[in-house]
């Protein structure tokens, strides 16, 4: 496991590279796309475990912090959908260049899954995208975060200890994975810990659009955005294991 900074001096991103362990090197890479805010805090241990397990199976794995989050440069008010898509471009090329890979896969959790689809779905150098409990509708996520509050259009509000800027609210309100239609030869896999109307809508709209995907439900308790004990983490072992095995069974070399 190697921690380092990459990107430009103006937009330095913090990453952790997990090289293949043992004698197996599949010449395949996986970029992990984390969620935002409280969900980032709750999922940190789960992402570390996922990265470690994938590296033990022979994969090159990169997990990183978006600009304005974690240990990357930038203030939290600078976090945005557009900047995350730019960061994903940089992260994909960083792993490809360092591990000398032609293609990589993406695994995204919650809003990170949305970024993976929007930023990687139409790329020729991305061969698979795994969506883990994805945010399908940004407007629905926004409603759950804001609740009954009616912030001014120019007001930054605090949500679970993190700022939600006007720009971020505007971007989230227009985010809908059901409208996604630009894709190349990417294999999509959706893993959910519980069923919801959002996921049913996503399945219907992607089938209507002719987007091929696999869908799996692996039950797991817990709410990514819940604040029960500060710093508490969710580590759904069975779901993490299912994602890892899906790569191994898929035969990526």
The 10s digit of each residue's pLDDT in 192-217 is 999 999 999 999 999 998 899 999 99
Asked whether residue 149 is domain-assigned, the answer is no
Asked whether residue 143 is domain-assigned, the answer is no
The count of domains in the chain is 1
Q: State pLDDT tens for residues 135-160.
A: 999 999 999 888 888 888 888 888 87
Q: Which residues neighbour 112 within 8 Å (Cβ) at sequence distance 6 or greater?
A: 32, 33, 34, 35, 36
Helix, strand, or coil here: 194? coil
Residue 233: which CATH number?
3.40.50.1820
- For residue 200, what is the enclosing H or E element? helix 197-209
User: Taking CA 15 as the corner, what is the angle to CA 59 and CA 38, rounded to the nearest 5 degrees?
Assistant: 105
Give yes or no for a contact between 251 and 24, defined as CB atoms under 8 angstroms apart: no
Per-residue pLDDT in tens (0 to 9) along the chain, 253 residues: 899 999 999 999 999 999 999 776 678 999 999 999 889 988 999 999 999 999 999 999 999 999 999 999 999 889 999 999 999 999 999 999 999 999 999 999 999 999 999 999 989 999 999 999 999 999 999 998 888 888 888 888 888 778 889 999 999 999 999 998 777 779 999 999 999 999 999 999 999 988 999 999 998 877 666 655 544 567 889 999 999 999 998 754 4
Asked whether residue 165 is domain-assigned, the answer is no
Q: Which residues neighbour 228 within 8 Å (Cβ) at sequence distance 6 or greater?
A: none
| 127-156: b (≥16 Cβ within 10 Å) or e | bbbbbbbbbbbbebbbeebeeeeeeeeeee
- Please tell me the total number of residues recorded for the chain in this structure: 253
Structural domain span for residue 68: 2-137+178-250
Asked whether residue 142 is domain-assigned, the answer is no
């Amino acid at each position: 496991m190697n921690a380092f900074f990459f990107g430009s001096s103006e937009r330095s991103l913090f990453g952790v590279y997990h090289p293949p362990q043992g004698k197996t090197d599949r010449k395949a890479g996986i970029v992990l796309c984390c969620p935002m805010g409280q969900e980032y805090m709750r999922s940190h241990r789960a992402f570390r475990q996922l990265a470690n397990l994938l590296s033990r199976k022979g994969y090159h794995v990169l997990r990183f912090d978006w600009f304005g989050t974690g240990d990357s440069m930038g203030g939290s008010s600078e976090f945005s959908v557009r900047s995350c898509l730019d960061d994903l471009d940089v992260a994909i090329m960083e792993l490809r260049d360092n591990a000398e890979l032609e293609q990589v896969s993406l695994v995204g959790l919650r809003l990170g899954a949305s970024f993976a689809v929007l930023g990687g779905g139409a790329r020729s150098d991305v061969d698979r995208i795994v969506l883990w409990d994805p945010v399908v509708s940004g407007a629905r996520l926004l409603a759950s975060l804001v609740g009954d509050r009616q912030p001014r259009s120019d007001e930054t509000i605090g949500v679970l200890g993190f700022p939600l800027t006007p720009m971020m609210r505007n971007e989230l309100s227009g985010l809908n994975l059901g409208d996604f239609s630009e894709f190349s030869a990417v294999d999509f896999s959706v893993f959910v810990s519980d069923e919801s109307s959002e996921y049913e809508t996503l399945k219907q709209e992607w089938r209507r659009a002719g987007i091929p995907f696999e869908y799996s439900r692996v039950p797991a308790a817990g709410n990514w955005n819940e604040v029960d004990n500060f710093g508490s983490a969710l580590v759904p072992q069975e779901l993490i294991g299912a994602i890892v095995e899906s790569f191994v069974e898929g035969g990526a070399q």
